[in-house]
Amino acid sequence: MKYIISNDTNILPDTVVDKVAGLTKAAIASTDTFVIEDFLAGVFLYVATVVINTEGNGSVGTIDSNCMSQFSGRNSVLAPT
């Protein structure tokens, strides 16, 4: 999710994308550790309250197995709760 947010050219760097922790797109890009439950809730609130879900229709198809393969073998680092 961090990769998708960081590379979304429609989101400005100072946009608060994590509504729980108050993290901007720029802060998310430079953060390596998240409390996953809080992060997902914060991004969900952003999507539910801010996003007009029609502009990205064409880009959904770009997330394919080639895109996802770059993440295989990576370890997830989560902050302790």
- Quick one: average pLDDT of 19-36? 93
7, part of any domain: yes
Residue 17's identity, in one-letter code, is: V
Q: How confident is the model at residue 39 (pLDDT cuts 50, 70, 90)?
A: very high
Supply the pLDDT for residue 76: 58
Q: How confident is the model at residue 46 (pLDDT cuts 50, 70, 90)?
A: very high
Could you tell me the residue range of the domain that residue 7 belongs to? 2-56
62, part of any domain: no
Q: How many domains does the chain have?
A: 1
Residues β-bridged to residue 24: 16
Supply the pLDDT for residue 75: 62
Distances (CA, A) of 38 to 5, 19, 29: 16, 9, 16
Q: Is the pLDDT of residue 26 over 70?
A: yes
- Quick one: average pLDDT of 64-73? 78
Count other Cβ atoms within 10 Å, centred on residue 23.
Answer: 22
- Read off the DSSP letter of residue 63: -
